[in-house]
Amino acid sequence: MPTTDIAPRDRLIVALDLPDIAQAEALIARLGDSVSFYKIGYQLAFAGGLALVPTLAGSGKKVFIDLKLHDIGNTVSRGVESIARLGATFLTVHAYPQTMKAAVEGRAGSSLQILAVTVLTSYDEADLVTAGYRLGVSDLVQMRAKQAEGLGVDGLVCSAEEVGTLRGIVAPKLCLVTPGIRPAGSASGDQKRIMTPARAIAAGSDYLVVGRPVLAADDPKLAAEAIHAEIAQALNR
Protein backbone atom coordinates (compact mmCIF):
# COMPACT_ATOMS: atom_id res chain seq x y z
CA MET A 1 0.00 0.00 0.00
CA PRO A 2 1.41 3.44 -0.90
CA THR A 3 2.04 5.39 2.28
CA THR A 4 -0.27 8.18 1.10
CA ASP A 5 -3.19 5.71 1.09
CA ILE A 6 -3.01 5.00 4.82
CA ALA A 7 -6.19 6.11 6.54
CA PRO A 8 -5.64 8.69 9.32
CA ARG A 9 -7.09 6.35 11.97
CA ASP A 10 -4.70 3.55 10.97
CA ARG A 11 -1.65 5.77 11.50
CA LEU A 12 -1.83 5.62 15.29
CA ILE A 13 -0.11 2.60 16.83
CA VAL A 14 -0.82 2.20 20.53
CA ALA A 15 2.01 0.55 22.44
CA LEU A 16 0.74 -2.15 24.80
CA ASP A 17 3.51 -1.51 27.31
CA LEU A 18 1.78 -3.47 30.04
CA PRO A 19 2.93 -6.26 32.38
CA ASP A 20 0.40 -8.95 31.53
CA ILE A 21 -2.18 -10.13 29.01
CA ALA A 22 -5.14 -9.38 31.29
CA GLN A 23 -4.27 -5.68 31.46
CA ALA A 24 -3.63 -5.58 27.72
CA GLU A 25 -6.97 -7.19 26.94
CA ALA A 26 -8.74 -4.78 29.28
CA LEU A 27 -7.18 -1.79 27.53
CA ILE A 28 -7.97 -3.18 24.08
CA ALA A 29 -11.59 -3.66 25.10
CA ARG A 30 -11.74 -0.15 26.54
CA LEU A 31 -10.30 1.39 23.37
CA GLY A 32 -12.65 -0.58 21.13
CA ASP A 33 -12.92 0.72 17.56
CA SER A 34 -10.91 3.84 18.36
CA VAL A 35 -7.63 1.96 17.79
CA SER A 36 -6.87 -0.40 14.91
CA PHE A 37 -3.13 -0.91 15.39
CA TYR A 38 -1.24 -2.16 18.44
CA LYS A 39 2.43 -2.64 19.30
CA ILE A 40 3.70 -5.49 21.44
CA GLY A 41 7.18 -4.97 22.84
CA TYR A 42 9.47 -6.73 25.28
CA GLN A 43 7.43 -6.27 28.43
CA LEU A 44 4.23 -7.84 27.14
CA ALA A 45 5.89 -10.28 24.75
CA PHE A 46 7.90 -11.84 27.58
CA ALA A 47 4.71 -12.12 29.64
CA GLY A 48 3.01 -14.27 27.01
CA GLY A 49 1.77 -11.38 24.89
CA LEU A 50 2.69 -12.91 21.53
CA ALA A 51 -0.36 -15.14 22.00
CA LEU A 52 -2.46 -12.01 21.47
CA VAL A 53 -1.18 -11.54 17.92
CA PRO A 54 -3.37 -14.15 16.15
CA THR A 55 -6.38 -13.02 18.18
CA LEU A 56 -5.92 -9.36 17.33
CA ALA A 57 -5.17 -10.12 13.68
CA GLY A 58 -8.21 -12.37 13.49
CA SER A 59 -10.42 -9.55 14.77
CA GLY A 60 -9.22 -7.18 12.07
CA LYS A 61 -6.58 -5.35 14.09
CA LYS A 62 -2.99 -4.87 12.98
CA VAL A 63 -0.06 -5.77 15.18
CA PHE A 64 3.46 -4.40 15.33
CA ILE A 65 5.87 -6.81 17.08
CA ASP A 66 8.69 -4.68 18.42
CA LEU A 67 11.48 -7.08 19.40
CA LYS A 68 14.38 -5.35 17.61
CA LEU A 69 16.01 -8.61 16.61
CA HIS A 70 19.79 -8.69 16.23
CA ASP A 71 21.85 -11.87 16.14
CA ILE A 72 23.74 -14.05 13.69
CA GLY A 73 21.97 -14.32 10.35
CA ASN A 74 20.64 -17.86 10.67
CA THR A 75 19.16 -17.16 14.10
CA VAL A 76 17.42 -14.00 12.89
CA SER A 77 16.10 -15.67 9.75
CA ARG A 78 14.61 -18.62 11.64
CA GLY A 79 13.12 -16.35 14.27
CA VAL A 80 11.46 -14.20 11.61
CA GLU A 81 10.03 -17.32 9.95
CA SER A 82 8.30 -18.21 13.22
CA ILE A 83 7.02 -14.69 13.83
CA ALA A 84 5.68 -14.47 10.27
CA ARG A 85 3.22 -17.27 11.08
CA LEU A 86 1.53 -15.22 13.80
CA GLY A 87 -0.17 -12.76 11.46
CA ALA A 88 1.58 -9.55 12.51
CA THR A 89 1.96 -6.61 10.13
CA PHE A 90 5.33 -5.23 11.33
CA LEU A 91 8.42 -6.67 12.99
CA THR A 92 11.47 -4.66 14.04
CA VAL A 93 15.10 -5.57 13.68
CA HIS A 94 18.17 -3.48 14.38
CA ALA A 95 19.53 -1.83 11.24
CA TYR A 96 22.72 -3.83 10.92
CA PRO A 97 23.20 -5.07 7.32
CA GLN A 98 23.55 -8.80 8.13
CA THR A 99 20.54 -8.67 10.44
CA MET A 100 18.36 -6.85 7.91
CA LYS A 101 19.35 -9.21 5.10
CA ALA A 102 18.52 -12.26 7.23
CA ALA A 103 15.16 -10.80 8.28
CA VAL A 104 14.13 -10.10 4.70
CA GLU A 105 15.04 -13.65 3.77
CA GLY A 106 13.14 -15.06 6.75
CA ARG A 107 9.87 -13.28 5.96
CA ALA A 108 9.83 -14.50 2.33
CA GLY A 109 6.42 -15.77 1.26
CA SER A 110 4.57 -13.98 4.06
CA SER A 111 2.88 -10.60 4.40
CA LEU A 112 5.09 -9.61 7.34
CA GLN A 113 6.86 -6.28 6.83
CA ILE A 114 10.32 -5.69 8.24
CA LEU A 115 11.13 -2.39 9.91
CA ALA A 116 14.72 -1.43 10.63
CA VAL A 117 15.47 0.57 13.76
CA THR A 118 18.05 3.20 12.79
CA VAL A 119 19.00 4.82 16.12
CA LEU A 120 16.91 4.43 19.27
CA THR A 121 14.97 7.59 20.14
CA SER A 122 16.38 7.46 23.68
CA TYR A 123 19.89 8.01 22.24
CA ASP A 124 21.55 11.34 21.60
CA GLU A 125 25.03 12.28 20.37
CA ALA A 126 26.66 11.69 23.76
CA ASP A 127 25.10 8.23 24.03
CA LEU A 128 26.55 7.21 20.66
CA VAL A 129 30.01 8.39 21.68
CA THR A 130 29.76 6.38 24.90
CA ALA A 131 28.71 3.33 22.88
CA GLY A 132 31.76 3.66 20.65
CA TYR A 133 30.19 5.01 17.46
CA ARG A 134 32.21 7.44 15.40
CA LEU A 135 29.15 8.88 13.64
CA GLY A 136 26.63 11.28 15.11
CA VAL A 137 22.90 10.52 15.22
CA SER A 138 22.00 12.14 11.89
CA ASP A 139 24.84 10.57 9.90
CA LEU A 140 24.29 7.12 11.40
CA VAL A 141 20.55 7.27 10.72
CA GLN A 142 21.12 8.23 7.08
CA MET A 143 23.72 5.53 6.51
CA ARG A 144 21.52 2.83 7.98
CA ALA A 145 18.46 4.06 6.07
CA LYS A 146 20.25 3.73 2.75
CA GLN A 147 21.52 0.27 3.67
CA ALA A 148 18.00 -0.80 4.69
CA GLU A 149 16.49 0.34 1.42
CA GLY A 150 19.14 -1.48 -0.58
CA LEU A 151 18.46 -4.72 1.31
CA GLY A 152 14.71 -4.69 0.67
CA VAL A 153 13.50 -3.64 4.12
CA ASP A 154 9.94 -2.30 4.11
CA GLY A 155 10.31 0.62 6.45
CA LEU A 156 12.30 2.43 9.09
CA VAL A 157 11.79 3.25 12.73
CA CYS A 158 13.23 6.68 13.36
CA SER A 159 12.81 9.84 15.36
CA ALA A 160 10.49 12.45 13.89
CA GLU A 161 13.51 14.74 13.84
CA GLU A 162 15.05 12.60 11.11
CA VAL A 163 11.89 12.05 9.04
CA GLY A 164 12.28 15.13 6.84
CA THR A 165 15.84 14.20 5.94
CA LEU A 166 14.97 10.55 5.29
CA ARG A 167 12.10 11.50 2.99
CA GLY A 168 14.70 13.10 0.77
CA ILE A 169 17.03 10.10 0.55
CA VAL A 170 14.81 6.97 0.49
CA ALA A 171 11.99 5.91 -1.83
CA PRO A 172 8.45 7.03 -0.95
CA LYS A 173 7.35 3.39 -0.65
CA LEU A 174 9.42 2.95 2.53
CA CYS A 175 7.14 3.62 5.47
CA LEU A 176 8.51 5.68 8.33
CA VAL A 177 7.37 4.70 11.82
CA THR A 178 7.99 7.20 14.57
CA PRO A 179 8.14 6.48 18.31
CA GLY A 180 8.78 9.17 20.88
CA ILE A 181 5.48 10.89 20.07
CA ARG A 182 4.18 13.14 22.83
CA PRO A 183 1.04 15.27 22.50
CA ALA A 184 1.50 18.85 23.69
CA GLY A 185 1.77 18.95 27.47
CA SER A 186 2.86 15.32 27.89
CA ALA A 187 5.97 14.37 29.83
CA SER A 188 8.94 13.27 27.72
CA GLY A 189 9.79 10.32 29.99
CA ASP A 190 12.98 8.56 28.86
CA GLN A 191 12.72 9.80 25.27
CA LYS A 192 15.21 12.43 24.10
CA ARG A 193 14.17 13.03 20.49
CA ILE A 194 10.42 13.62 20.63
CA MET A 195 7.71 15.47 18.66
CA THR A 196 3.97 16.12 18.73
CA PRO A 197 1.66 14.06 16.46
CA ALA A 198 0.87 16.99 14.16
CA ARG A 199 4.51 17.95 13.69
CA ALA A 200 5.56 14.33 13.09
CA ILE A 201 2.89 13.83 10.41
CA ALA A 202 3.74 17.16 8.79
CA ALA A 203 7.40 16.10 8.71
CA GLY A 204 6.48 12.93 6.79
CA SER A 205 5.92 10.17 9.35
CA ASP A 206 3.51 7.45 8.20
CA TYR A 207 2.79 5.83 11.57
CA LEU A 208 3.03 7.23 15.09
CA VAL A 209 3.74 5.00 18.08
CA VAL A 210 2.17 6.29 21.29
CA GLY A 211 2.32 4.56 24.66
CA ARG A 212 2.12 6.44 27.92
CA PRO A 213 0.00 9.39 26.71
CA VAL A 214 -2.78 6.87 25.95
CA LEU A 215 -2.12 4.21 28.58
CA ALA A 216 -1.83 6.68 31.45
CA ALA A 217 -4.75 8.86 30.39
CA ASP A 218 -7.85 9.07 32.59
CA ASP A 219 -9.82 8.22 29.45
CA PRO A 220 -7.55 6.27 27.02
CA LYS A 221 -10.21 6.22 24.30
CA LEU A 222 -10.60 9.99 24.44
CA ALA A 223 -6.82 10.40 24.33
CA ALA A 224 -6.61 8.16 21.25
CA GLU A 225 -9.42 10.07 19.53
CA ALA A 226 -7.64 13.37 20.21
CA ILE A 227 -4.51 12.02 18.52
CA HIS A 228 -6.61 10.83 15.55
CA ALA A 229 -8.04 14.33 15.21
CA GLU A 230 -4.55 15.85 15.31
CA ILE A 231 -3.33 13.42 12.64
CA ALA A 232 -6.32 14.11 10.39
CA GLN A 233 -5.85 17.86 10.76
CA ALA A 234 -2.17 17.58 9.86
CA LEU A 235 -3.13 15.58 6.76
CA ASN A 236 -5.96 18.04 5.93
CA ARG A 237 -8.45 15.17 5.86
User: Which residues are annotated as catalytic?
Assistant: 68
Alpha-carbon distance values, 128 to 73, 120, 123, 131, 196 (Å): 24, 10, 7, 5, 24
**What are the angstrom distances between the C-alpha of 94 and each of 16, 36, 114?**
20, 25, 10
Helix H or strand E segment including 64: strand 62-69
Q: Give the three-state DSSP class for 125.
A: helix
Q: What CA–CA distance (Å, rounded) separates 46 from 208?
A: 23
115 neighbors 149 (Cβ within 8 angstroms): no
Nearest C-alpha neighbor of 88 from the set 126, 54, 124, 133: 54
